[in-house]
Chains A and B, each alone.
Chain A
Amino acid sequence: MSSKNKDKDLQQPQILELDDDFSLIKRFIDGDESAFRILVQRHKEKVRNIIYLTLNNSEVIDDLAQEVFITVYRNLKNFRFESQFTTWLYRITVNKCKDYLRKKNVRKIFTPLKEADDKLEFDNSVEKKDISRIVMDAIQKLPYKLRVPLLLKDIEGFSYQEIAETMNIELGTVKSRIFRAREGLKEILKPLEAELR
């Protein structure tokens, strides 16, 4: 760096742009709609991933993600700044997924039995799938309450504390559920142990 540039930097100190989540939320509350666009750009992929991992259905990702951000948009002015924005955002995402599954289960009750069975059928043929697909399908066989903490931990890299806040459960419960999810997954994958080696 030349001495000339150095002087310039000293004379005009760079003002740090406050673009962390809280600053963006404050800007949005003050009427700056563009701040919300930045928040969406920043967090949309994480939200889409959580939805996909939770539901294992690529068709509904964007629709549900849109619902998540619309909910955020409508409620952002009431954000209390007591927890991280991401914690609040992921909780909304997880709840949207939970709602989706609940509605789907209700629909399943009223779906003709044959059609429902076809959808439930799990394809165990290894030849057609790679290992990743096999593992992902196996994870989907876990109950929702075990599956989601496991995915948030192993794929999204959430801490136990973040998972507890996102799912609104105790820290000990998170630890227990992740362990049980791993045990369950081991059992599901046991018949395919040879292929997975």
Chain B
Amino acid sequence: MNKKDKKDHEQLSAYIDGELSPDEKQRMEEKINSSLNLQKKLTDLKKIKSLTSSSYKGINESPYFETRLFAELASRKPFLKRIKKWMPAIVFAFAAIVLMIVLKADPHIIDNLIEKQKTNIAGFYKENLKPLLFAADLSNEDIFNFAMYRKLPLDKENNQYLELGYDTTGNQYFEIKKIAEDNNQNNYQKFIAALELNEKQKEKIDSIIKEYADELNSQILVNENNTVAINANLWDYQKALLTDLMIFAETSNRKKFREMVPHSVSFTNNSDLFDVVHKFRKKKSKSYIILTPDSIFSEDLDVNTDEIKNQLKELQITLEGDTNKIKSFSIKINYDSTWQKLGDKVKWNSNFKISVDTNRCRVDLSGFFDNKNSFNTDSLNAMLDSLTKNFKSFSMVIPKIEHFDNKIKFYFDGDSSKSFEFKYQEFDIDSLMEAQRRMLDSLPKLNWKEFYFEGDSLLSEKFPRFKDYFKEFEYKEDIREQMRELREELRKFREEMRKWQEELRRQKKQKTEEVSFN
């Protein structure tokens, strides 16, 4: 078959399929009519086409085809749709992998991040720290009370105080607490009055307090973010202030001073004290304990005292006469849930131990100080302890007492409102004692120890006498117990005595019978 024939046969195949154009069809028909070969080929192709077309019988329908198809489509949802429900797990797994890779690359990254975060938070709280002396508008009375009672007001309006202290093992602590009512008023004036200081001496003691107050400026800092920063040197500083005041008091009026202090206490006999005070004052520390509503930490702060002094002067000039603006600087610490949580939050910090109750936030610093001074302060500590425990006479005003037949009258000089009289004949002492006995008898069934009233400082603050009453009651309980035991012993003794007497009687009787028998 040559090329032309092949072309013709191809056209013939298309001809029987009806795929030629009218012109091609006409030309092909002309060719077929004139060629026996093409006619034969046409017959063959028609036969083949007929065989092919008729050979296919079709296939059976598939009745479940659609059901299967749509079930398959439902199960073959797009990839994203299918993994949607696993998305949280996938995200978590991916995050874990990323974290593992990151940690592998830099094992300290989390520590660094936490450290950075801590720095940021610390920065926020350290911002705008101002001297407490300015913020709380401290007076000479406050500074004097700080010396005597280690107590400084943080917010006078709300009776919030900072109190320094030492625990039973001698470790430092501080408390921020609310004092229900400050009964210890005008101590400074009473102290001056008790020492009978003259004007010159008053000026001198004022200047001592002023000098210390200026230095205190940089030792206690506060800001409006409820942050209190306390210099680590503050405890020693208080000792120096108290010692300095006592040295001055003793030198100013030795006689009156001796009436006020315990016999063993003398500040002028010990020349080392001057040295100790000097060292305490010169011992500058940059280390601050910073208490915030979120955390507690210690950090070195550079406090420029000269700058603070200048700022204070400027502010005082600006705010002169406008006390309301000054008040806006006072710190307000609310003992709400935020503070309650703080106790738990910082437990991990070994340097500080925080305990918070309804009235106070106490921070124990047993792990913070090494308590090793380069100079010996034991004798000073002992003396100051003795002094502060017993040094109360100057604040007490003893009333004049007049006795009458049926009453006693108490008079306070120049203050008739505080005078009162006690008419004792109106009392039936016997019935009063009986009532008290009945009241006490009604109580023993209760176990008061279970209530643990002493644990909460608020109760002690509100009801200072409660503690004494509790102890008194405990004491009476002990006596009652001893009496009961004694009664038991007496009963046993009586019993033995009775037996012994019976025995004697029996022996005597026996003897008598023997004699009569004989």
Q: Which residues of A contact B (CB under 8 A)?
A: 37, 40-41, 44-45, 48-49, 52-53, 58, 61-62, 65-66, 69-70, 73-74, 131-133, 135-136, 139, 150-151, 153-155, 159-160, 175-176, 178-179, 182-183, 185-186, 189, 196
Q: Does the CB pair B66–A41 fall under 8 Å? A: yes
Our pick among B52, B55, B59, B69 for the contact of A69 (Cβ within 8 Å) is B69
Does B14 sit at the interface, judged by CB under 8 A?
yes
Q: Does the CB pair B68–A66 fall under 8 Å? A: yes
Q: Does the CB pair A135–B52 fall under 8 Å? A: yes
Contact A49 to B52, CB < 8 A, known contacts A44-B65, A175-B19, A176-B10: no
Q: Does the CB pair B10–A154 fall under 8 Å? A: no
Does B73 sit at the interface, judged by CB under 8 A?
yes
Contact A131 to B55, CB < 8 A, known contacts A48-B62, A70-B76, A160-B19: yes
Q: Does the CB pair A175–B52 fall under 8 Å? A: no
Our pick among A45, A66, A175, A196 for the contact of B14 (Cβ within 8 Å) is A175
Does B25 sit at the interface, judged by CB under 8 A?
no
Our pick among B9, B13, B17, B55 for the contact of A135 (Cβ within 8 Å) is B55
CB distance from B9 to the nearest CB of A (A): 6
A-B contact pairs, 16 of them (CB 8 A): A40-B66, A44-B66, A48-B59, A53-B56, A58-B59, A61-B59, A61-B62, A62-B62, A69-B69, A131-B51, A151-B52, A154-B52, A176-B10, A182-B13, A182-B52, A186-B44
Closest 3 CB pairs of A and B: A135-B55, A179-B13, A154-B52
Contact A73 to B51, CB < 8 A, known contacts A66-B68, A175-B10: no
Q: Which residues of B contact A (CB under 8 A)?
A: 9-10, 13-14, 17, 19, 44-45, 48-49, 51-59, 61-62, 65-66, 68-70, 72-73, 76, 78
Q: Does the CB pair B14–A186 fall under 8 Å? A: no
CB nearest neighbor in B for A62: B62
Contact A155 to B44, CB < 8 A, known contacts A49-B58, A73-B73: no
Our pick among B17, B59, B72 for the contact of A66 (Cβ within 8 Å) is B72
CB distance from B479 to the nearest CB of A (A): 93
Chain B: interface secondary structure? helix
List of A residues within 8 angstroms of B70 by Cβ: 37
List of B residues within 8 angstroms of A132 by Cβ: 54-57
Q: Does the CB pair A178–B52 fall under 8 Å? A: no
CB nearest neighbor in B for A73: B73
Q: Does the CB pair B56–A136 fall under 8 Å? A: yes
Distance, CA A62 to CA B69, complexed state (A): 9
Distance, CA A97 to CA B62, complexed state (A): 19
Q: Does the CB pair B76–A45 fall under 8 Å? A: no
CB distance from B74 to the nearest CB of A (A): 10
CB nearest neighbor in A for B44: A186
Distance, CA A132 to CA B9, complexed state (A): 25
Q: Does the CB pair A62–B55 fall under 8 Å? A: no
CB distance from B63 to the nearest CB of A (A): 11
CB nearest neighbor in A for B61: A45
CB distance from A181 to the nearest CB of B (A): 9
List of B residues within 8 angstroms of A74 by Cβ: 78
Distance, CA A179 to CA B51, complexed state (A): 15
Distance, CA A176 to CA B3, complexed state (A): 13
List of B residues within 8 angstroms of A186 by Cβ: 44, 48
Distance, CA A66 to CA B62, complexed state (A): 12
Our pick among A153, A155, A185 for the contact of B56 (Cβ within 8 Å) is A155
Q: Does the CB pair A136–B55 fall under 8 Å? A: yes
List of A residues within 8 angstroms of B78 by Cβ: 74
List of B residues within 8 angstroms of A135 by Cβ: 51-52, 55
CB nearest neighbor in A for B1: A183
CB nearest neighbor in B for A185: B48
Our pick among B48, B58, B73 for the contact of A70 (Cβ within 8 Å) is B73
